[in-house]
Structure 1
Amino acid sequence: MVDPALLSVSIEFFAFPGYLNLSATQKCLSNIQALRGVAPAVRIGGTTQDRASFDPSLQSAVQYTVDSPLDAPDTLTYGPEFFELANTLKGDVTVGLNRQLNNITNTMLAAVEAKKVVSGLLALELGNEPEFYASGSPIIPSGTTWSPTEDGASQKAWFTSIQSSVGDIFQAAVYLQYPTWSTTGLIPLLEGAISYVKTFSGHSYPQSACGGASTNLQTLMSHSGIVSYTKQYAKEATSAHSQNKRYFLGETNSATCGGGGISNNFGAGLWVMDYLLQGAMNGVERLYFHQGTIGNCAYCFWGNDTFAPFYGAMFVSEFLGSEGDVDGSGSKLVMLDNGSSSLGAYAMFSTKTGEVLRVLVYNSAFFSGSGSRSSEVVSLAGLKTSATLRAKRLTAPASTSLAGQGITIGGSGTFDASCNSVGSQVFESVVVQSGTASVTLKASEAVILYVN
């Protein structure tokens, strides 16, 4: 069974109040909810959670100073209104709190406030990607080296100290540098404090745009590449599940440092779709796609506009559907291809009848927008129906197309700056002959076939 909130959202800590001031935020979330039946979960955290201090007397949600609105603050304070905003979210909420500054008293104050105010609170994170804590971080004792062992002892101590005030509600690990830093390695270090842990989380970005690093859209969106990359999650998920804990990618997206020059392209939207499904195939129960600084975030689903990755998020949400959307019994995700080519195929099966509900096929071949565009014919055999099937297509003029440059769902369906649907989404017809249906996909296209 696929978690109804498989596709969820992470929002950078300092930017969270700003996101709730955007008209697109609630609309984009509700659009996904309409397709999945449950609101996406939201994790509020990131680098700036470890720069933030809670001020119970602060009259605003956050307070900080930056040279440019496109910058993230080096330090910030936040007040009770921050949690009141979090309480307006419709799905599960995870809140990231500061551990790097080593002020457990302040973090406990914030944790208690979050538990009191946020009715949908699922978990609390203490620290974000602690493997990157610098030698000058207050949490690191002078003269010592921060290591997985040191951090495991720290997580254990903090969970133990705060648990009596908030309960067994912690999201542990939150590491990016797998396998050196991992859920698998952390579990034995927590010892009895593992009973205070509700969920485990890893962070993951297939590429980096930090410090001038190069990114490659063709590599990112490759189906075989996605299959290969996501296999690393299986061991981490298995370790968490062995302790009867859930395993999430609590922060993920296409490339670190906001995504560079590739993450706002149509190909990145196709990547969202395929990557999400491969995460689920490897035991990840939720993937939280990170939304960074408003106006300075290539991989964001939305901001002051609705961006290309959101099209992939909507398309895969329609494929997954809502629990019991046909017969009330729920559905199961199955991968149909072997993961070795540019073509991907998935099916949703009814857990009650075993029948195919929907099939998603994806041609991950890159198309620059010039020259001849290749195509592939995908055939689905063994269908029990002789009826003509409905199909819906996600396409664009090129892998590099941006929102507003011809990206469409169902022929002419798009989204405006506030995430409202624009245009009409129509179905194609696919004839079934002798139990086989065939559909043609151009390079960088995906199609959903509705079987039942």
Structure 2
Amino acid sequence: MKIATPSLPSRVLTLYLALSQSHAAATAATAATAATADADAAASATKTLSFPSSQPTNAVPAPPDFVSLGFETAFLDNYANAFSANLVASLAGRMSAAPVLRVGGTSGDRVQFDPALRDANKTCVKGACPDGSDASFVLGPGYFDAFRSFPTARWTFQAPLGDGVYNRTQLLAYVERAWEAAAAGEEDRVDAIALGNEPSMYWKTAKEYREGAARAQAAIVKALGLGDRKIFQVAETIKPAAMSHSPYAAQEVFEAGFDSDATVKTVGEHWYQGTATTFDIEALQADLMNHTAITNRFPGYLKSLDAVQPTAAYTLSETGSTIARGVPLAYASGFGAALWSADFQLAAMSRRVRRVVSSGRPVAKHAPWVPDDSSGGGPAVRALWAASMFVADFVGKDKRRSVLEVPLGGGGEALASAYVMYDDDDDDDGTASSKAADRVALVNLKAWEAASDQDRGSLAFAVPVVKGTDSVKVRRLRADAGAWATGFDEGGAEENVTWAGEQWTYKVDKGKGHYVDGKLEEQTVKVQDGRAVVNVPDTEAVIVYL
């Protein structure tokens, strides 16, 4: 059910939304209490977790800038507004390192520059304009101002390789202007320059890509005076090739010669999870809300990761829930997709992936937010956005940490997952870190929808704690409406999505974030016999602070 917002003067509309939020807060608080109580009573199984109390050698350092966002090249300027800047700043505020924004994609290989285009930032000149994958754009000088709109972020941007036949003048026209605007006088703000996008679509072999990209790379180094600076990103492998290594993936790209190039900083590969063509709750459960479906995708990617590390960092530089034709919004970016995103990001981090980029463009249904009304559906924050805030808070900004996935035995692993973070930071007085476990993320992926006639079940996790701990704090990523909740902007107050009581909207806070009930929400769980039993309702995730 959606709540229709009436056509009202702005001051009245503001009051209307405030009252709606106030009512929603009371309703949500009551519903949350009832849901937790019901879940406690209905918990049908208990997962007893087992993990070392001190950091083991196989724990993976959690990158402080792991959470990342991406914009399709041709639509960067659509995101250059206060709303998007507020969302990025809200993410940056819970990270100890600036988030990296990726500008790239299919359109990025075809863009051209026209200094005479002064009355618009861009114009679509060829292909299925403006949103088709074959669309080509001419950019004006105003386009590059968009790089200046996100002062709390760093950048990776794509050098246009022209589908394999690039124009050196046009290549440098984009790269030089993007470099100047993105760096803004601080060259460290440019994290990497990517050499093309999904090159196997236009260079048949890894050797051809290496040779073609190397020529473009040399021109960029000379034009920007980079010398031997380690700054380039390569591969940007399309998903099928990343999984199968046919015709080639990052591993084969390195074997073709990039492994000996000291200026390659990172590699990127692409990941889109969903393959379903029907979009009911059963498909959502099998396709997205499924830990096994996620982890079964990794073998091909991990071959490349092993091949490029430690020479270069390995990133999943373009990711999304699904790009299936005709997919509903609630499937691609609803709360079920948000839980997929949270689990996917944590699974990737625990497997040594350096960064995961949640990507999009205004028309993309898998995008975490819509920046403007150019696609006819925005501006709006979607349920999916909260997943990145959840992951960022799990990493934390107060200290360095290392992560480990916790194996779950006893069956049902496809519908649940768990991860533990260890303290990996020395104290201020110089004493060594305790290396103790200090937080645990629990994800219950069992799909539930409020419109069903099924009670919302729960899964209990018995979390071990160190001796002397009397209680733990629990914060919840939740939606009372369940898997199909799209968030306040898209679905109204009945489809609210919150993380620890906080939500992000365009209509109420312009992306800054606010607590629905005026304060952070957390639950205290007492410890008994060395364990805290935490009930996680179906279609919910929590962080347990030990």
Please state whether the residue corresponding to 1:64 is helix, strand or coil: strand
- Residue 136 of structure 1 is matched in structure 2 by none
Contact 1:391 1:427 (8 Å CA) reproduced: yes
Please state whether the residue corresponding to 2:422 is helix, strand or coil: strand
CA separation of 1:259 and 1:17: change in aligned 2, threshold 3 A: farther
- Residue 336 of structure 1 is matched in structure 2 by 406
Cα distance between partner residues in 1 of 2:299 and 2:68: 20
Contact 2:317 2:357 (8 Å CA) reproduced: yes
Cα distance between partner residues in 2 of 1:36 and 1:246: 19
Q: Deviation digits for residues 27-65 of structure 1, max 9, x if unmatched? A: 111111121133321011111112211234443532336
Cα distance between partner residues in 2 of 1:214 and 1:149: 39
Structure 1 position 12 matched with structure 2 position 87? no
Cα distance between partner residues in 2 of 1:410 and 1:122: 29
Structure 1 position 112 matched with structure 2 position 198? no
- Residue 313 of structure 2 is matched in structure 1 by 246
Contact 1:8 1:41 (8 Å CA) reproduced: yes
Contact 2:113 2:139 (8 Å CA) reproduced: yes
Please state whether the residue corresponding to 1:63 is helix, strand or coil: strand
Cα distance between partner residues in 2 of 1:265 and 1:155: 38
Cα distance between partner residues in 2 of 1:234 and 1:170: 21
Contact 1:155 1:190 (8 Å CA) reproduced: no
Residue 78 (structure 1) aligned to one of 119, 132, 139: 139
Structural mapping, 1:318-329, within 5 Å:
318-324=393-399
Contact 1:208 1:214 (8 Å CA) reproduced: no
Cα distance between partner residues in 1 of 2:258 and 2:476: 50
How far does residue 267 in structure 1 lie from its aligned partner after superposition? Answer: 0.7
Residue 92 (structure 1) aligned to one of 154, 163, 168: 154
User: Is there any run of 5+ residues in structure 2 with no aligned partner, and where?
Assistant: 1-60, 184-188, 371-378, 425-432, 489-493
Cα distance between partner residues in 2 of 1:384 and 1:33: 35
How far does residue 443 in structure 1 lie from its aligned partner after superposition? Answer: 1.2
- Residue 450 of structure 1 is matched in structure 2 by 545
Contact 2:440 2:545 (8 Å CA) reproduced: yes
How far does residue 71 in structure 1 lie from its aligned partner after superposition? Answer: 5.8
How far does residue 382 in structure 1 lie from its aligned partner after superposition? Answer: 4.0
Please state whether the residue corresponding to 1:274 is helix, strand or coil: helix
Equivalent position amino acid for 2:463 in 1: L
Percent identity of equivalent pairs: 23
- Residue 472 of structure 2 is matched in structure 1 by 389
Contact 1:376 1:442 (8 Å CA) reproduced: yes
User: Is there any run of 5+ residues in structure 1 with no aligned partner, and where?
Assistant: 134-139, 141-145, 325-329
- Residue 222 of structure 2 is matched in structure 1 by 164
Please state whether the residue corresponding to 1:311 is helix, strand or coil: helix
Cα distance between partner residues in 1 of 2:99 and 2:166: 32
How far does residue 392 in structure 1 lie from its aligned partner after superposition? Answer: 0.9
Please state whether the residue corresponding to 2:397 is helix, strand or coil: coil
Contact 1:266 1:399 (8 Å CA) reproduced: yes
Contact 2:274 2:321 (8 Å CA) reproduced: yes
Structure 1 position 434 matched with structure 2 position 504? no
Cα distance between partner residues in 2 of 1:259 and 1:5: 33
Q: Deviation digits for residues 353-392 of structure 1, max 9, x if unmatched? A: 1122211111111113312322111101243343222111
Q: Deviation digits for residues 379-406 of structure 1, max 9, x if unmatched? A: 0124334322211111222212211243
CA separation of 1:84 and 1:70: change in aligned 2, threshold 3 A: closer
Equivalent position amino acid for 2:359 in 1: H
Structural mapping, 1:10-409, within 5 Å:
10-21=70-81, 23-59=82-118, 60-64=120-124, 74-89=135-150, 90-99=152-161, 100=163, 101-119=165-183, 120-133=189-202, 146-166=204-224, 167=226, 168=229, 169-176=231-238, 177-178=241-242, 179-180=245-246, 181-190=248-257, 194-208=261-275, 213-214=277-278, 216-218=283-285, 219-242=287-310, 244-256=311-323, 260-261=327-328, 262-292=331-361, 294=362, 296-303=363-370, 304-324=379-399, 330-338=400-408, 340-351=413-424, 352-369=433-450, 370=452, 371-396=454-479, 397-404=481-488, 405-409=494-498
CA separation of 1:320 and 1:224: change in aligned 2, threshold 3 A: same
Cα distance between partner residues in 1 of 2:265 and 2:391: 27
How far does residue 115 in structure 1 lie from its aligned partner after superposition? Answer: 2.9
- Residue 7 of structure 2 is matched in structure 1 by none
How far does residue 273 in structure 1 lie from its aligned partner after superposition? Answer: 0.8
Cα distance between partner residues in 1 of 2:258 and 2:414: 43
Equivalent position amino acid for 2:539 in 1: S
How far does residue 238 in structure 1 lie from its aligned partner after superposition? Answer: 2.0
Q: Which moves more between the two structures, 347-356 or 376-385?
A: 376-385
How far does residue 334 in structure 1 lie from its aligned partner after superposition? Answer: 1.5
Contact 2:415 2:445 (8 Å CA) reproduced: yes
Contact 2:390 2:499 (8 Å CA) reproduced: no
Cα distance between partner residues in 2 of 1:254 and 1:411: 23
TM-score normalised according to structure 1 size = 0.87
Please state whether the residue corresponding to 2:333 is helix, strand or coil: coil
Contact 2:258 2:264 (8 Å CA) reproduced: no
Cα distance between partner residues in 1 of 2:301 and 2:484: 28
CA separation of 1:40 and 1:192: change in aligned 2, threshold 3 A: closer
Contact 1:4 1:38 (8 Å CA) reproduced: yes
Point out which structure has higher relative CO (alpha carbons under 8 A, 6+ apart). 2
CA separation of 1:444 and 1:232: change in aligned 2, threshold 3 A: farther
How far does residue 276 in structure 1 lie from its aligned partner after superposition? Answer: 0.7
Cα distance between partner residues in 1 of 2:102 and 2:140: 18
Q: Which moves more between the two structures, 60-69 or 111-120?
A: 60-69
Cα distance between partner residues in 1 of 2:66 and 2:405: 16
Structure 1 position 419 matched with structure 2 position 511? yes
The RMSD of aligned alpha carbons is 2.5
CA separation of 1:192 and 1:447: change in aligned 2, threshold 3 A: closer
Cα distance between partner residues in 2 of 1:126 and 1:54: 18
CA separation of 1:70 and 1:403: change in aligned 2, threshold 3 A: farther
Q: Which moves more between the two structures, 367-376 or 350-359?
A: 367-376
Cα distance between partner residues in 1 of 2:325 and 2:385: 15
Q: How many residues align?
A: 428
TM-score normalised according to structure 2 size = 0.73
CA separation of 1:97 and 1:9: change in aligned 2, threshold 3 A: same
Equivalent position amino acid for 1:359 in 2: V
Cα distance between partner residues in 1 of 2:342 and 2:462: 21
